[in-house]
Amino acid sequence: MSPRRPVPPTIARPAYVDQPGPERSGGKEVKDAETIEKIVLARSYARAKAAVESSNASEENTTEWQKTVVFEVVEAMSNGRGNH
């Protein structure tokens, strides 16, 4: 497992962080339309960036690189910069 990465304070810490295991869910977690739109946009951005970067076949295309891309996307979305 890779070392723990610092997470920008603009990214909310999920409830499961530093817990021994997951909590039992009492039902479905329903997202509002704006949140779903952000999730879809972040997924699309990450896929596009991954496709471009992986085509370079560099040593950077690692799990650490993938984590970096995800952090960039989540931080951009939480700062409202992903609304294109």
- pLDDT grade, residue 84 (50/70/90)? very low
Q: What is the pLDDT of residues 22-48, one digit of tens each?
A: 777 776 788 889 988 988 888 888 887
Confidence (pLDDT) at 55: 63
Q: How many CB atoms lie within 10 A of CB 50?
A: 15
**Is the separation of the CB atoms in 75 and 8 below 8 Å?**
yes
pLDDT at 33: 92
Average pLDDT, the chain: 76
